[in-house]
Amino acid sequence: MMDWTDRHCRVFHRLLAPQARLYTEMVHAQAVLHGDRERLLGFAVSEQPLALQLGGSEPECLAQAARIGADWGYDEINLNVGCPSDRVQAGRFGACLMREPALVADCVAAMTAAVSVPVSVKCRLGVDDADDYVPFRAFIDSVAQAGCRVFVVHARNAWLKGLSPKENREVPPLRYGWAHRIKRERPDLTIVLNGGLDTLDKVADNLPRVDGVMIGRAAYHTPYVLHQMQQLVFAPGQPLRNREHLLRAFRPHVEQQLAAGVALKYMARHVLGLYNGQPGGRHFRQILSQGFTERAAGWELIEAAIAATTPCDAAA
């Protein structure tokens, strides 16, 4: 979710899912140490509970970055060893670290020693054509012994060569059963399932077998599904809020940021999918995407986009 789940996206997603735990986009530990921390780490209190997702492979560097994140107020520090992109591999972090469980364990041990907040790991099942469950379990055990109690498992392999990041989210087959099994065999660990969970039925089917689910691109491309999943998990039987009301709740943040000199496009880009599949959804996207690049664009553009949709779409 690099370049996607920035602070504006997270404020919007918090309105959709008040009780979910939100994660930042992945930030390299070196950037935390040497970059613009306000830009990289700044967040609104309303976003919490919030996890800072780090990339890297140097234990001491990750420990320092984790300490900084905890000092900034993050509720959890997450180490990503599941991203398969070429750029990430070139830096020796992300999914290629699944081949180096001892190094991941060293990183986790250094991070857990540096902070009092939980340190979690986001991983895949393995890399390339690995199809044996035992090395996956050994990886989990090794990292757990180093102090990690929470694993977010993207239930696919990561192909390090030959597939794009997009294909890596779609081509390798899902093996939810591996996540279910590791939870049965290691009940003291918190196992959160990720990958392909884009419908309420899939969430409802898998949630009883694990401790939680993580929703990524489905929440971004079709944000209303995040609200539906929030209600399914945390408020079953309670009525859904309609899209118009959810979007208007975003207005105070938008106007505050506009007053601070932030262009509308940096906020409005995160709501483009809110009406996906709904009457007027295409017009909603067109009005926003064609208008939010104007320097003077403000909240009135979002109101014009809302007006292009069918009013009161409450329960869809």
- Cβ neighbourhood burial of 274 (10 Å; 0-12, 13-18, 19+): buried
> Comparing 52-61, 159-168, 202-211, which segment has the lowest mean pLDDT?
159-168
Residues of the chain with CATH 3.20.20.70: 7-234
Confidence category of residue 316, pLDDT binned at 50, 70, 90: very low
> Comparing 53-67, 161-175, 185-199, which segment has the lowest mean pLDDT?
161-175
Residue 83 annotated to the active site: yes
CATH architecture of 7-234: Alpha-Beta Barrel (3.20)
Q: Which of 177, 178, 216, 180 is nearest to 198 (CA)?
A: 216
Identify the pLDDT of residue 26.
94
Give residue-wise pLDDT tens across range 251-284. 999 999 999 999 999 999 999 999 999 999 999 9
Does the structure show a pLDDT above 70 at 311? no
Fold (CATH) for 243-307: Four Helix Bundle (Hemerythrin (Met), subunit A) (1.20.120)
Residues of the chain with CATH 1.20.120: 243-307
Q: Could you say which of 83, 96, 123, 148 is catalytic?
A: 83
CA distances from 92 to 98, 130, 160, 284, 297 (A): 11, 20, 12, 41, 41
Residue 6 is given by DSSP the state -
pTM of the model: 0.92
Does the structure show a pLDDT above 50 at 314? no
Does the structure show a pLDDT above 80 at 166? no
Identify the pLDDT of residue 91.
62
H-assigned helices in the chain? 7-16, 29-34, 37-41, 59-72, 86-90, 101-114, 133-145, 165-168, 176-185, 200-206, 217-221, 223-234, 243-248, 251-259, 265-268, 281-291, 299-307
Give residue-wise pLDDT tens across range 85-119. 666 655 667 788 999 999 999 999 999 999 999 99
With a CB cutoff of 8 Å and minimum separation 6, the contacts of 248 are 306
Identify the pLDDT of residue 313.
47
